[in-house]
Amino acid sequence: MDIRAVLSTFDDQMRRNVRPGPGEKVERNGQVVRIIASADGWSGVVWSDLADDGADTAIAGQINRFTDLGQPWEWKLYSYDRPLDLADRLEAAGLTAGPAETVLVAEIADLAPQQSPTAGVKLVPVVDSAGVDALVQVHDEVFGGDSSGIGRTVLAGLAERPSSVEAVVAMAGGRAVSAGRVEFCDSTDFASLCGGGTLPAWRGRGVFRSLVAYRADLARARGFRYLQVDATPESRPILKRLGFVEFAATTPYTHPGYLRAAAR
C-alpha cells in the first residue's frame, strides 16, 4: 500500500469533500468543512487547512456557528493538520481534548475472508429494532453512557436504499456479547468500521476478529477498496495484526458553548 497516496485519497474523499449522510448537511466556511447532523448524529469540523494568521479567527467562527445551533460538536483534529500548533490554539479557545485514537486503513483485498467465530458464538446481522436493541446493550456495557442515539442512527441507516450502514451482533447462549457496524461512504473508496466492542468476559477469544472479517466481507461485496477505522489503544494492536496500517492520530476537541445556547 502506498501510504502517502492512500492518505491523500482519504483526506480528499472523507474530509475535504465529505458527503452528507442521512440527516446531515455539509457546510464549507473558507478552509473549514463542517458537518451539521440531526440530534442523534455527529456534528463537527471534519477538515481544515488554516494559515497561522487566520487560524484563530476561523476557530472563533466555528464556535459561534455551533453555539448558535445549540448542539454538541467536535473539532476532529488530525495529526497532520495545519497550522502545527492547531491543538494549542483550540485549547486556548476553550476546547477540550478527548482521548486520541489512531487512524488505521486496510486494503480489503488483502484481508482474510470471513472467519468462523468462536465455538458457541453466532454472528447475527442487525436487521430490525430487536437487533439494534442488542447492539445498543453491548455498546452501553462496553463503552458506558447511553448509546440509544447510535441505535436510532443505525435504524435510520438500515432504512436507506441502499442502506448506508450494516451492523452485526455476536450472540452466545442467547446473550449479545459483541457488536459493531460498518458505514458505507457513498462515492468513495472507503467503508468505515465503527463501534466494535466486546464484553470483557469474551475478549481474547477471537470474537472481535470475526466481527472485523464479517464487516470486511460486507464492504467487499459493495465494491469498496479500503476499510478505515479510528482505533482505540485496545483495538489497535488486534487490527494491525489483521493487516491494518497506521496512518495518523486523530483527537476530538469539544466545546461547552452549546450548553449555554441550550439554556437560553
User: Helices 129-143 and 148-159 meet at what angle, rounded to 10?
Assistant: 150
Place of cell 477471537: 206
For residue 212, what are the CA distances in angstroms to 44, 71, 74, 180, 218?
A: 27, 32, 27, 8, 10
Q: What's 112-242's CATH class?
A: alpha beta
Q: How far is CA 209 from the centre of its chain?
A: 18
Question: Tens of pLDDT along the chain (264 residues)?
Answer: 899 999 999 999 999 999 998 889 999 999 999 999 987 889 999 999 999 999 999 999 999 999 999 888 999 999 999 999 999 999 999 999 999 999 999 999 998 776 677 889 999 999 999 999 999 999 999 999 889 999 999 999 999 989 999 999 999 999 999 999 999 998 999 999 999 999 999 999 999 999 999 999 999 999 999 999 999 999 999 999 999 999 999 999 998 865 443 332
Q: All 3 cell numbers of residue 135?
A: 447492539
3-100+250-263 topology per CATH: Aminopeptidase (3.40.630)
CA gyration radius for the chain? 19
Is omega for the bond preceding 83 within 30 degrees of 0, making it cis? yes
Tell me what pLDDT residue 257 has: 64
For the stretch 15-43, what's the b/e string if a residue is b when 16 or more beta carbons lie within 10 angstroms of its beta carbon?
beebeebeeeeeeeeeebbbbbbbeebbb
* Under 8 Å between Cβ of 185 and 24: no
pTM of the model: 0.91
